[in-house]
Amino acid sequence: MATPKEMLTTWDKVQFGAVLPAFEDPEHKKRSKFHSYNYSVADWRVEKPVFNRELCIDCDFCWVSCPDSCFIVEEVVNKRGKKQAKIVGINYNLCKGCAVCVEVCPTPIKSLLMFPEYVDNDEALKQWPTKDNK
Amino acid sequence: MAERYELKQKEVWDGNMAAAHALRQAQVDVVAAYPITPSTPIVQNYAQFLADGYVDGEFIMVESEHSAMSACVGAAAAGGRVATATSSQGYALMVEVLYQASGMRLPIVMTVVNRALASPLNIHGDHSDLYLGRDAGWIHIIANNPQEAYDLTLCAFRIGEDERVRLPVTTNQDGFLVSHTAQVVEPLQDEEAYKFIGEYKALNPMLDTKNPVTYGAQTEEEWHFEHKANQHKALMESFPVIEEVFNEFEKVSGRKYNVVETYKLDDADIALVLMGSAYETAMLAVDKAREEGIKVGLLMPRVFRPFPYNEVAEKLKNVKAIAALDRSAPMGTTGALYNEVAGALAAKGQSAIMTNYIYGLGGRDTTVEHILEVIRETEKNAKAGKRVTDLQGFINLRGPKLSFN
């Protein structure tokens, strides 16, 4: 992917030591132009992870492991009245399809599985392995 | 807080002990090393200082030199003052990571004890490893004796950590000839030395959780060139800082170092260019040659990278003939020091009759007599006004005469 012309800085303005700054708040943090947040990698994807809410235990492993902060999280109150992060989906505009989330998912039947890009998510959920067939 | 190490005004140290004390006084946060002859005692002594409570820091034992330098890169990126030591094969194994350290602009200090590279295996001193790391983007400083190894290691921290530089630095000393030769060294006291080096200022530390950063970016054809140019500029423009640090060091120690060292060069007709312990041998040879009436002087780039080409050319502008002595197998061309000096002269439109000598490989003795022979041959060239000796000669090599033209 070619970098857009307006993002090409000159030798005297490049990041010192090629060190990339990070973000504090994913929504409001000021990031450099060439930070991965501003630099879409979604078109690298040939397979996509599909998220199965039914099986998810909200361990947040996928959220913490995702290199592109793809997981959409909602704040909910659990049974004991405590605040909890609930994984609700994947932002496919950020996901490059690296499958790290699938690797780290700890549920007996994975709550995240890779499917070809062209498979519809509802269709993918129908094809999900069951206990007898995992 | 680390214990204070009581030092006498004069200590008898070899080069390794001198370097180890310099690392101790710098209060390095992390040393990751894989000891290798002849630099083993640097790491060994340092570990002893740490175990005895003279250092507040971490010593990481690793499984290879590649891991040693990798751990150093990690620790420096995390925001610590970092140092290590190596030689020869270990240096060769580190090379890949040397480029990473300089590219990420991490001011790691490495005390290198120069040793030959195999094969055939050899543990003694020559500059093969120094030449191997030449283009790695590090600052390379040369020490000729234990005192210099100590002084320049202290300076190395200040040079590398200066915000105008922020580059890794090696201090080089010849294996065994310097590293294992005990001499009188006049050290600074701990407080004085630490005051000279100063507190470490971390830049973009990874452990700063308020400002998280990523080290080790990939840059392809659109970016790599710009980053490398930027890095090269830092190296090229480090001379004023190096000079500044050397001047500061003179104020605290009384010992003056220069980017280009010379000996009796002012009125010289011919000059020898060489670095390392042989420079001191050559000093004696120069004195003898001058008794014979040969006006000869010496020049040594104290800093091999960045190479002070302007200053070298300036200092050599009045000499008629120059012999550049390389302590590394040139393998297919003239020696690196010859090339650097020839290039420096050509850039200024100067010319001198230049010859190249290869000496001391694998710790082969180079005596005053040998250097005198070089001086006499160089004198012949100067007198003839053209090169009458061979372009490349070999000093103290057994067998039929070997030379190239």
Each residue of B50-75: pLDDT tens digit? 999 999 999 999 999 999 999 999 99
CB–CB of A18 and B103 under 8 A? Answer: yes
Q: B-chain residues within 8 Å CB-CB of A32?
A: none
**Is any Cβ of chain B less than 8 angstroms from the Cβ of A25?**
no
pLDDT of residue A134: 57
| Min Cα separation A56/chain B (Å) | 29
Contact by Cβ (8 Å): B290, B90: no
B213 and A CB contact within 8 Å: yes
CB-based contact, B214 to chain A, within 8 Å = yes
CATH code matching the domain that covers A52-109, chosen among 2.60.40.1120, 3.30.70.3270, 3.40.50.970, 3.40.50.12140:
3.30.70.3270
ipTM greater than 0.95, yes or no?
no
Task: Tell me the chain B residues in contact with residue A10 when contact means C-beta distances shorter than 8 Å.
Answer: 226
Q: What is the mean pLDDT of chain B?
A: 95
Instruction: Give the Cα-Cα-Cα angle B176, B177, B179 (nearest 5 degrees).
Output: 50
Selection from B132, B120, B199, B200 nearest residue B172 by Cα: B132
Nearest CA in chain A to B101: A17
- How many CB pairs (< 8 A) connect A and B? 56
Chain B interface includes A7 (CB < 8 A): no
Q: Tell me, what's the pLDDT at A78?
A: 83
- For residue A110, which phi and psi values (nearest 5 degrees)? -55, 140
Q: What are phi and psi of B392, to 5 degrees?
A: -125, 120
pLDDT, position A1 = 53
Judge whether A17 is closer than 8 Å to chain B, CB to CB: yes
- Establish if A3 touches chain B: CB-CB under 8 angstroms: yes
State the architecture of B11-253 in CATH terms. Answer: 3-Layer(aba) Sandwich (3.40)
Among A8, A10, A19, A41, pick the best mutation site for testing chain B contact (most B Cβ within 10 A): A19
Task: Please state the domain extents for chain B.
Answer: 11-253, 260-404
Residue B105 to residue A17, Cβ atoms within 8 A: yes
Chain B nearest CA to A24, separation (Å): 8
For A58-125, the DSSP string reads: ---HHHHH-TT--EEEEEEE-TTS-EEEEEEEE-TTT-----HHHHH--SSS-SEEEEETTS-HHHHH
Could you tell me the end-to-end alpha-carbon distance of chain A, in angstroms, rounded to an integer? 37
Name the residue among B104, B213, B230 with its Cβ closest to that of A14.
B230
**3-state secondary structure at position B124:** coil
B216-252 core/surface letters (b: 16 or more CB in 10 A; e: else): ebebeeebeebbbebbeebbeebbebbbebbeebeee
- Which of A18, A22, A23 is closest, CB to CB, to B227? A18
pLDDT tens for the 134 residues of chain A, in order: 577 888 788 999 888 888 887 655 555 777 777 776 677 888 899 999 999 999 999 999 999 999 988 999 998 988 888 888 899 999 999 899 999 999 999 999 999 999 999 999 999 999 999 877 65
Q: CA of A63, closest CA in chain B: separation in Å?
A: 18
Using a CB-CB distance cutoff of 8 angstroms, which residues of chain B are in contact with residue A11?
Answer: 225-227, 229-230, 233
A22 touching B (Cβ < 8 Å): yes
- Cα–Cα–Cα angle for B87, B92, B95, rounded to 5 degrees: 115
Query: Which of B161, B218, B221, B223 to probe by mutation at the A interface, max A CB count within 10 Å?
Result: B223
Question: Which of B99, B162, B201, B230 is the best substitution to test chain A (most A C-beta atoms within 10 A)?
Answer: B230
Structure tokens at B181: 């030769």
B152-171 residues touching A, CB cutoff 8 A: 166
Q: From the list B213, B222, B233, which residue is nearest A19 (CB)?
A: B213
List, in sequence order, every residue forming a beta bridge with A83; answer none if it has no partner. A77
Q: Do domains B11-253 and B260-404 have the same CATH topology?
A: yes
What is the number of alpha carbons within 13 Å of residue B334 lying toward its C-beta?
Answer: 18
Collect the ranges in chain B with pLDDT lower than 50: none
Query: Between chains, do B104 and A19 touch, taking CB under 8 Å as contact?
Result: yes
d(C-alpha B308, C-alpha A111), whole Å: 62
CATH 3.40.50.920 correct for B260-404? yes
Provide the shortest C-alpha distance from residue B111 to chain A (in Å). 23
Cβ(B75)–Cβ(B46) below 8 Å: no
User: Of A3, A17, A24, which is closest to B103 when you measure between CB atoms?
Assistant: A17
Question: Would you call B204 and A2 a contact, using CB atoms and an 8 Å cutoff?
Answer: no
Give the bridge partners for B138, in sequence order.
Answer: none
- Token look-up 């010192």 returns A16
User: Over the stretch B80-103, which tens digit does the pLDDT of each residue have?
Assistant: 999 999 999 999 999 999 999 999
